[in-house]
Chain A
Amino acid sequence: MTARTVMVVDDDQDIREVLTEILTDAGYTVVPSVNGSDALAKLGQVTPSLILLDLNMPVMDGIAFRHEQQQDPRFAAIPTVVMSAVHKMDEQVAHLGIADALAKPVNLNDLMQVVSRYCG
C-alpha cells in the first residue's frame, strides 16, 4: 500500500488540488496535508514513497517538520523534496538533508521526473 504514494504538504489548497489531480492521473496515490504537524499525524498511518514539502506554512513549517521527521526513525528515510517559492531556496534548504528541491512555479516535467525518480 505504500508503493507509489506521494504525500503533498502545502498550506495552499489550490496547490494541493492541482498536485493531487496531476499525480492521481499519473497513477499515484496522493495524501494531502495542510502543514507540518498534519503531515506528522498522517505519517503515523501511511508511509509514502515520497514527501513533497512546502516551506512557509502556518502551525508547523517545512523546516520544523523536516527536523521532526529526521529525528523519528520510522520516517527519517522517506525521501523528501522541498517545493517552495522562497527566494534562493537552495541556500535555505542546504542543511535539511533533502533529496531534491523544486522552485515554484514548478515545471510539470521537472515535477514528474522527481516524483518518478523516488516512486519508481
Chain B
Amino acid sequence: MAALQPAKTSSPLRALILEDSDDDVLLLVTHLRRSGFELTYRRADSAAGCERALAEEPWDIVFADYQMPQFTALDALKVLHRRRIDIPFIIVSGSIGESAAVEAMRAGAHDFFLKGNLTRLASAVERERNEAEVRRERREAIKELRESQERLRQAVRARDDFLAIASHELKTPLTSLSLQVESILQGPDDGARSILEKQRAKLQSVAHQVTRLTALINNFLEVTKITSRGLHLSPTSFDLRELVDGVVAGLEDMRRRSGSRITVIAEQPAVGTWDRSAMESVLVNLLTNALKYGDGKPVEIELSTLQGTDELSIVISDHGIGIAPKEQERIFYRFERAVPKEHFGGIGLGLWVARQIVEAHRGTITVASRPRRGSIFTVVLPLRADTRSASRGTA
C-alpha cells in the first residue's frame, strides 16, 4: 500500500490551483511542498483563466476552491469535462456542506478537503494520481485495441477486395479461353477444319480445366462474400428439380471422366423459395465431391418433400472412398478435408460454402459415411427461406 502513503521523496507535481485567496494558495503550496512534492503550479480564479491554463500546459492535478467570486468548482469540472481532460480534481474549501460535497463528487470531483484539515491531502494526491494513471493506461489500451481491430478489418477488407477483383479479372480471359476451346470442339466437321481424335481429347481436357478453374473462382467469391459482408440471400420461387437437372448437365464432362453414373430421383416438382445461385453452389459442391470421391461408382441425388412438414430434403449418395468417423465433423470447416491433399485436388472450401448457404436458408446439412462404402450428404431445407432473419455472416 506504499502508493497511499504521503510521498516522502521528492515527487514532481504540476498543479493547477483554482483559488481567489492568496493566503489559501500559500497554505496549500506550503503543505504540499512539506509533504515532499516538487510542486510547480499556476493559479487561476476565473473560467477564462482556467480555460487558458488547461489549453496552454499539461497538468497532473487540479485543486479548486468550492466557491470563488467569479467561478465555482462545478464550473471548472464542466470545463475539464468538455475538454475531455481526466486528471485528479480535489476540492479544498473553507467550508463545504455535505450536500454540496456530494454534488461535486457526482460532477466528477475525486475528493474534498477543508482548509483547516489537510492531513490526508498528500496521500489523497498520490492515490488519485495513481488512479488517473490507471484510467489513462486503460484508455490507451482500449484505443490501441480499437486501432488494431480497425487495422485488421482493413486488412481483411483489402484481402476480400483483392479476391473479388482478381476473380473478376480471371473470368475475362477464362471466357475467351473456354469459348475458343468449345468452338473448336463443336465446330463444323467439314474435313478442312476437322481435328484429330487425339487433339479432340486434349481439347476436352483443356475444357475440363476451364470448368475446374471456374468453379474454384466462384468458390473464392462465395467465401469472400460470406466472410466480409455476410451471406445475403435473394430468394425466388423455383423448381429445385430443374436446377438439379441443369447442374447435372453442367457437370457432364466431369461425370464422364469419373466413370460414375448420376441418377436423379424426384417424384414431383420440388418448388420452393430459395436463393437460386446459392443453391446452385451447394449442388455443384456436393455433386463435385460425390464424383471426385465416388470411385467411379453410381451417384444418386434424391429430392423429396418430407411428409407432414414444410421441408424438402436433398440426399446425395456416393459409394466411394467414404469418410472416417472422426473426420466427419470437421469437413464442414474452411480448408479442412478428410483426405491427404496430395491425393485429391481442391482446397477444401466447397463444403464450408455449402454449409453457410444451407444454414442461411435455416436448413441443415449432415453427413453419414463409412470408409470404402461411400458417403450420404443430406440437406434439409424449409420450403420457404425466412429472408427476414436468413442473412448471417460467419468470420
Contacts and interface: CB of A to CB of B under 8 A. Distances in A.
Contacts of A90: 234, 276-277
A119 interface: no
Interface string A87-112: 11011000000000000111111010
B179 interface: yes
A86 interface: yes
A104 B164 contact: no
Interface string B173-184: 111111110110
A14 interface: yes
B72 interface: no
Contact of B176 (A18, A86, A111): A18
A17 B214 CA distance: 21
Contacts of B309: none
A28 B175 CA distance: 20
B183 A105 contact: no
B129 interface: no
B307 interface: no
Contacts of A17: 176
Contacts of B168: 56, 85-87
B277 A108 contact: no
A38 interface: no
B167 A107 contact: no
A10 to B, nearest CB: 9
A68 interface: no
Contact of B164 (A12, A87, A108): A87
**Most chain A CB inside 10 Å of its own CB: which residue of B180, B225, B250:** B180
Contact of A15 (B172, B183, B221): B172
B117 interface: no
Interface in A46-74: 56
A12 B250 CA distance: 26
B176 to A, nearest CB: 4
Contact of B175 (A25, A87, A105): A105
Given A90-B234, A90-B277, A105-B171, A18 B179 contact: yes
Interface string A27-51: 0000000000000000000000000
Contacts of B225: 87-88
**Most chain B CB inside 10 Å of its own CB: which residue of A15, A56, A86, A87:** A87
Contacts of B180: 18
Given A87-B221, A91-B234, A105 B164 contact: no
B338 interface: no
Nearest to B218: A87
A104 B172 contact: yes
A87 B167 contact: yes
A22 B183 contact: yes
A111 B179 CA distance: 9
A17 to B, nearest CB: 8
Contacts of A91: 234
A86 B234 CA distance: 16
B217 to A, nearest CB: 9
Contact of A19 (B179, B214, B234): B179
A108 B221 CA distance: 23
Nearest to B214: A105
Interface in B103-131: none
Given A12-B172, A15-B175, A105 B186 contact: no
Contacts of A105: 171, 174-175, 177-179, 210, 214
B171 A104 contact: yes
A104 B164 CA distance: 14
Interface string B184-213: 001100000000000000000000001000
A108 B181 CA distance: 9
Contacts of A15: 172, 175-176
B254 to A, nearest CB: 14
Listed from nearest, the 8 A-B pairs whose CB atoms lie closest are A85-B171, A108-B182, A14-B176, A105-B175, A105-B174, A104-B175, A105-B178, A87-B221
Interface of B: 164, 167-168, 171-180, 182-183, 186-187, 210, 214, 221, 225, 234, 250, 276-277
Given A14-B176, A15-B176, A18-B175, 19 more contacts: A14-B172, A18-B179, A18-B183, A22-B183, A85-B168, A85-B171, A87-B164, A87-B167, A90-B277, A91-B234, A104-B174, A105-B179, A106-B179, A107-B182, A108-B179, A108-B182, A109-B182, A109-B186, A111-B179
